């Protein structure tokens, strides 16, 4: 299969304009006749659904939550980047593009990344117009702050709730179009399969989570906006319901899955405190601006943090990366923490954390300043742990966070299935092997608001003439039947172990072998172990209740069944990539002082996997760097 990324010709800064000039248009009267399904109601899904509806398309939008407003974009804290150069500090579209490309360790497309930076400025205009209460100066202009991995201030924010504010704006706009009867909203509805007719995506099978009914929906195009899949690790910063099922079903129907193993591990989450824990809460990365990270120099030190004298503390980030210190990029900070924890220096009850200490910042700036800067985070920390972080250091630990990988998409955000689009976190396009802070809200929004509404016409223009899909088509019949069988099969097992039991085991293996550092042996072992889990799951899982009712255990089981298969692909991908880049760190490929060793000659490509009856076939999209020469990331 030849992967055509459809990158437009021309200079970097002209590509998007050239694309728009040359793409096909559809007149308003025809748009009304075309229908689009959007799965997911987060920033990308709601943005796309509302904008497509404004353009005149007939849109149906689905989400598994009780309301579109719950989508996990809501939880992003820090902010959203944009090359506005409001701070007059030398920022530009090019610089933002360069930072993003470099931050991703040169494993993304130049053209996509440039477009991300290019469209960032009008996106801020858009959100301001929609009433997002961004932070302001007294004079009324917008404020910016800096974020990890860059030297300019380009991050816009609304307290520690930027994601929430952007999502609510998108949700409002979505409901504006619901009122206009241009969007039909289906909450508590989970997509369980994709329907492909003659090689084109034409609909989905949905389970109504309230009564368990399976329903068919047909449309001229299907857009997946289903977010990340880091819940594969079970313990992650994601919402409990986040899942990879929609993209996995699409993958099994022929969509290629790109770079599945590229998963960002966030360095500052709260550590796991018990076996039964369900979720790791993220603490904003901004804490690293003033907190110092350390572990005791003595292994398995049982003293309380405040009892450990200064000369017995190891400020390992400052030691290893003197110039960036505590502000080293996410992948590096996470890996360094793991190295210390694995070596036996971890702290806390489960010895799985490191200290983040504000003692020095409080001494230097005073308690009040620190309270002003981080008060809400300290309060949150106290709510969750019961510990007062003004008096003793926080305990933090790395946690699975963002999926850089996802369905392979071209410049138009179309997957390898005609008429199937993937937008936001569920695609692989802009972040390469590591995502920079505050770029995730940006990518999700731009995909949904600006890119997809411009590119989807190009496909739909050819669909005006063809027959509109009908849910009576045999392919719908077949997909529904298979889904029903799948559900019945899972319910029929009636084994002895809970769904969570299997998820915990899967998470442990993935965290051990396919997270911050990976090696050949471990990955091979992991694949075997996961296959074993898969066998056990399909022979011994127990779910009570039936399929024709609200059944939360069944929902979990269906998602886990897909996670298990996806995790095999993740390990396969990590195994295949015999280099270290960004978040993908292969222990065999490191420099003498333990840094990532990239191999541009052999691995400067996007791995795109084709599903082939249970096994996976690798395709490569070679990354061409026309405008920027890849260099070695150095944060020492």
Partner 1 sequence: MKVTFKIWRQEGPKDKGEIKTYEVDGLTEDMSFLEALDHLNELLVLKNENVIAFEYDCREGICGQCGVFINGRAHGPHDNITTCQLHMRSFNDGDTIVVEPWLAASFPVIKDLIVDRSAFDRIIEQGAFISAKTGTAAEANAILIGREVADKAMDVAACIGCGACVATCKNASASLFTAAKINHLNSLPQGKPEASKRVLEMTKQMELEGFGSCTFTGACEVECPEGISIINIAEMNARRSKAKWLS
Continuous segment of H or E residues that includes residue 560: helix 552-576
**Residue list 423-452, contact with partner 1 (CB under 8 A):** 449-450
**Please, what is the minimum distance in Å from the beta carbon of residue 613 to partner 1?**
32
Give the closest residue to 148 by CA, choosing from 93, 114, 99, 111: 99
| Count of residues in the chain | 636
Residue nearer to partner 1 on the CB measure, 462 or 494: 494
**Residue list 131-150, contact with partner 1 (CB under 8 A):** 131-142
**Please, what is the minimum distance in Å from the beta carbon of residue 568 to partner 1?**
25
Interface with partner 1, residue 128, by CB under 8 A: yes
Q: From the CA atom positions of the chain, what is the Rg in Å?
A: 24
- C-alpha distances (whole Å) from 192 to each of 207, 288, 562, 623 are 7, 41, 10, 33
Interface with partner 1, residue 171, by CB under 8 A: yes
Residue nearer to partner 1 on the CB measure, 376 or 590: 376
Region of 613 (left: φ > 0; alpha: ψ -120 to 50; beta: rest) is left
Interface with partner 1, residue 47, by CB under 8 A: yes
**Please, what is the minimum distance in Å from the beta carbon of residue 434 to partner 1?**
23
Residue nearer to partner 1 on the CB measure, 386 or 614: 386
Q: Per the residue annotation, which of 107, 154, 288, 330 is the catalytic one?
A: 330
Residue nearer to partner 1 on the CB measure, 140 or 309: 140
Q: How far apart are CA 557 and CA 560, in angstroms?
A: 5
Largest distance between two CA atoms of the chain: 76
Interface with partner 1, residue 70, by CB under 8 A: yes
The region of 159-167, 523-531, 577-585, 604-612 touching partner 1 under the rule CB under 8 A is 159-167
**Please, what is the minimum distance in Å from the beta carbon of residue 414 to partner 1?**
20
**Please, what is the minimum distance in Å from the beta carbon of residue 118 to partner 1?**
15
Give the closest residue to 97 by CA, choosing from 123, 118, 121, 125: 118
Q: Which of 125, 578, 624, 626 binds partner 1 (CB under 8 A)?
A: 125
Interface with partner 1, residue 598, by CB under 8 A: no
# chain residues binding partner 1, by CB under 8 A: 84
**Please, what is the minimum distance in Å from the beta carbon of residue 67 to partner 1?**
5
Q: How far apart are CA 33 and CA 51, in angstroms?
A: 16
Interface with partner 1, residue 25, by CB under 8 A: no
Q: How far apart are CA 236 and CA 213, in angstroms?
A: 30
Q: How far apart are CA 185 and CA 187, in angstroms?
A: 6
**Residue list 499-538, contact with partner 1 (CB under 8 A):** 500-501
Residue nearer to partner 1 on the CB measure, 260 or 348: 348
**Residue list 175-234, contact with partner 1 (CB under 8 A):** 175-176, 178-179, 185, 187, 210
**Please, what is the minimum distance in Å from the beta carbon of residue 76 to partner 1?**
9
Q: How far is CA 602 from the centre of its chain?
A: 26
Interface with partner 1, residue 492, by CB under 8 A: no
Residue nearer to partner 1 on the CB measure, 16 or 316: 16
Q: Which of 5, 35, 44, 50 binds partner 1 (CB under 8 A)?
A: 50
Give the closest residue to 385 by CA, choosing from 287, 270, 269: 270
**Residue list 288-347, contact with partner 1 (CB under 8 A):** none
Evaluated on CA atoms 281, 283, 284, 285, the torsion sign reads: negative
Q: Which of 7, 197, 239, 461 binds partner 1 (CB under 8 A)?
A: 239
Interface with partner 1, residue 240, by CB under 8 A: yes
Q: Which of 369, 462, 552, 631 binds partner 1 (CB under 8 A)?
A: 552
Interface with partner 1, residue 373, by CB under 8 A: no
**Residue list 86-105, contact with partner 1 (CB under 8 A):** 86
Q: For residue 199, what are the contacts with CB-CB under 8 A and spacing of at least 6? A: 254, 417, 418
**Please, what is the minimum distance in Å from the beta carbon of residue 88 to partner 1?**
12
Quick check: 422 and 413 in contact, CB under 8 A?
A: yes
Quick check: 127 and 169 in contact, CB under 8 A?
A: yes
Q: Which of 277, 306, 462, 591 binds partner 1 (CB under 8 A)?
A: 277
Q: Name the 3-class secondary structure at 345.
A: helix
Mark whether 234 is an active-site residue. Answer: no
As a whole number of Å, the end-to-end CA separation of the chain is 41
**Please, what is the minimum distance in Å from the beta carbon of residue 600 to partner 1?**
38
Interface with partner 1, residue 126, by CB under 8 A: yes
Interface with partner 1, residue 421, by CB under 8 A: no
Interface with partner 1, residue 67, by CB under 8 A: yes
Interface with partner 1, residue 274, by CB under 8 A: yes
**Please, what is the minimum distance in Å from the beta carbon of residue 158 to partner 1?**
6
Interface with partner 1, residue 461, by CB under 8 A: no
Q: 360 burial class (0-12, 13-18, 19+ CB within 10 angstroms)? A: exposed
Q: For residue 102, what are the contacts with CB-CB under 8 A and spacing of at least 6? A: 631, 633
For residue 223, list its beta bridge partners. Answer: 38, 421
The region of 12-20, 94-102, 270-278, 581-589 touching partner 1 under the rule CB under 8 A is 270-278
The region of 20-28, 118-126, 326-334, 463-471 touching partner 1 under the rule CB under 8 A is 118-126
Quick check: 376 and 158 in contact, CB under 8 A?
A: no
**Please, what is the minimum distance in Å from the beta carbon of residue 555 to partner 1?**
10
Q: Name the 3-class secondary structure at 619.
A: strand
Give the closest residue to 233 by CA, choosing from 403, 364, 66: 403
Our CA angle for 582, 584, 589, nearest 5°, is 100
Residue nearer to partner 1 on the CB measure, 74 or 317: 74
The region of 12-20, 72-80, 397-405, 433-441 touching partner 1 under the rule CB under 8 A is 72-80
Residue nearer to partner 1 on the CB measure, 253 or 279: 279
Q: How far apart are CA 73 and CA 442, in angstroms?
A: 11
Q: Name the 3-class secondary structure at 592.
A: coil
Interface with partner 1, residue 3, by CB under 8 A: no
Q: For residue 630, what are the contacts with CB-CB under 8 A and spacing of at least 6? A: 106, 598, 600, 604
Q: How far apart are CA 34 and CA 222, in angstroms?
A: 12
Residue nearer to partner 1 on the CB measure, 339 or 500: 500
Q: At what angle do helices 120-129 and 93-103 cross, to 10 degrees?
A: 110
Q: Which of 51, 286, 440, 483 binds partner 1 (CB under 8 A)?
A: 51
Interface with partner 1, residue 61, by CB under 8 A: no
Give the closest residue to 18 by CA, choosing from 113, 124, 82, 111: 111
Residues with catalytic function: 330
């Amino acid at each position: 299969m030849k992967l055509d990324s459809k990158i437009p010709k021309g200079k970097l800064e002209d590509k998007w304009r050239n694309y728009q000039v040359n793409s096909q248009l559809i007149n308003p009267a025809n748009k009304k006749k075309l229908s689009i399904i959007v799965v997911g109601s987060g920033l990308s899904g709601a943005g796309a659904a509302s904008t497509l509806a404004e353009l005149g398309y007939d849109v149906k939008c689905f989400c598994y939550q009780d309301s579109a407003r719950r989508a996990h974009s809501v939880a992003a804290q820090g902010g959203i980047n944009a090359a506005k150069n409001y701070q007059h500090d030398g920022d530009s579209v090019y610089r933002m593009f360069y930072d993003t490309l470099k931050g991703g360790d040169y494993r993304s497309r130049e053209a996509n990344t440039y477009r991300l930076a290019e469209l960032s400025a009008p996106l801020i205009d858009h959100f301001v117009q929609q009433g997002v209460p961004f932070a302001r100066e007294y004079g009324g202009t917008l404020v910016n702050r800096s974020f990890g991995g860059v030297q300019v201030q380009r991050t816009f924010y609304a307290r520690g709730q930027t994601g929430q504010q952007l999502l609510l704006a998108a949700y409002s706009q979505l409901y504006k179009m619901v009122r206009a009867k241009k969007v039909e909203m289906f909450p508590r509805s989970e997509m369980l399969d994709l329907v492909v007719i003659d090689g084109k995506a034409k609909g989905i099978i949905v389970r109504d989570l309230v009564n368990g009914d399976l329903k068919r929906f047909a449309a001229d195009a299907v857009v997946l906006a289903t977010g990340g899949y880091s819940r594969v690790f079970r313990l992650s910063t994601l919402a409990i319901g986040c899942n990879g099922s929609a993209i996995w079903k699409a993958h099994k129907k022929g969509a290629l899955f790109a770079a599945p193993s590229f998963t960002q591990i966030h360095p500052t989450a709260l550590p796991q405190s018990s076996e039964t824990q369900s979720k790791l809460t993220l603490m904003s990365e901004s804490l690293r601006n003033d907190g110092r990270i350390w572990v005791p120099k003595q292994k398995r030190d049982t003293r309380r943090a405040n009892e450990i004298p200064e000369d017995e503390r190891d400020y390992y980030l400052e030691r290893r990366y003197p110039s960036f210190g505590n502000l080293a990029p996410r992948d590096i900070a996470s890996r360094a923490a793991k190295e210390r924890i694995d070596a036996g220096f971890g702290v806390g009850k489960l010895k799985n954390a490191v200290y983040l200490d504000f003692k020095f910042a409080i001494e230097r700036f005073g308690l009040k300043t620190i309270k002003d800067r981080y008060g809400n985070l300290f309060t949150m920390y106290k709510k969750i742990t019961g510990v007062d972080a003004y008096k003793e250091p926080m305990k933090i630990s790395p946690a699975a966070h963002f999926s850089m990988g996802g369905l392979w998409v071209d410049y138009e955000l179309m997957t390898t299935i005609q008429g199937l689009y993937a937008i936001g976190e569920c695609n692989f396009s802009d972040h390469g092997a590591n995502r920079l802070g505050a770029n995730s809200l940006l990518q999700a929004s731009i995909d949904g608001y600006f890119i997809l509404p411009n590119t989807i016409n190009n496909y739909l223009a050819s669909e005006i003439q063809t027959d509109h899909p009908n849910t009576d088509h045999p392919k719908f019949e077949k997909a529904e039947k298979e889904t029903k069988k799948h559900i019945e099969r899972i319910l029929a097992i009636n084994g002895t172990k809970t769904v969570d039991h299997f998820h915990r085991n899967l998470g442990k293996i993935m965290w051990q072998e396919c997270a911050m550092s990976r090696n050949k042996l471990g990955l091979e072992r992991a694949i075997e172990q996961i296959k074993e889990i898969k066998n056990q799951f399909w022979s011994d899982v127990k779910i009570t209740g039936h399929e024709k009712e609200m059944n939360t255990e069944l929902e979990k089981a269906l998602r886990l069944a897909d996670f298990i298969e996806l995790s095999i692909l993740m390990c396969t991908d990590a195994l295949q990539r015999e280099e270290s880049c960004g978040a993908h760190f292969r222990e065999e490929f490191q420099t003498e002082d333990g840094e990532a060793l990239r191999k541009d000659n052999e691995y400067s490509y996007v791995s795109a996997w084709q599903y082939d009856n249970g096994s996976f076939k690798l395709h490569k999209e070679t990354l061409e760097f026309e405008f920027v020469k890849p260099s070695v990331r150095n944060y020492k």
